Structure 1
Amino acid sequence: MYDHSEADDCAEELRAVLAEHGITLPSLRVDLPTFAARYPARPLISLGNCNLLTARTLVAALRKGVA
């Protein structure tokens, strides 16, 4: 079983790192139904939807990180 606080911490860390690159994903959150499963499942982090500008900024940040 996974700890809910670990998933929350990960989501917040991701939110902070994205913010360092000027990226905001308003729907970023822990997927709570993951914790309601009858079998031990790994918690999911939902990134949600974003607009085209945010998607392009995310692509640029990822490409820069790979280079």
Structure 2
Amino acid sequence: MVERSRAAATIKDAENARDELRVALRGAGLTLPSLTLDGVSLAGDFPRPLVDLGRCTPQTARRLAEALRGEVR
């Protein structure tokens, strides 16, 4: 039972991180449409969740690079 509780907390933490990233990206005028948790990393008794940034258009990739460099318009 304790392992299940830890697993649920680990997954919830990853969901929160994903949501924080989504909000920060939105604040920079960016959307990563495939932003999610990686399903494979959630499998098993001891999940190690990964945030999957997914795919985006070249334009979005360039805008993301600009945002990371502090060049957001």
Provide the TM-score with structure 2 as the length reference.
0.76
Q: Match of 1:64, SS?
A: coil
Listed one character per residue, the Cα deviations across residues 7-59 of structure 1 (whole Å, up to 9, x for unaligned) are: 11110100000000011000000112102146x45311100110011111100
1:64 aligns with 2:41: no
Length, aligned pairs only: 64
Identity fraction in percent: 41
- Note the residue ranges of structure 2 that are not aligned, 5 or more in a row: 1-5
Q: Distance in 2 between matches of 1:53 and 1:14?
A: 19
Give runs of ≥4 in structure 1 deviating > 3 Å. none
1:8 aligns with 2:15: yes
Q: Distance in 1 between matches of 2:26 and 2:48?
A: 25
Q: Aligned-residue CA RMSD in angstroms?
A: 1.8
Q: Which protein shows a greater Rg?
A: 2
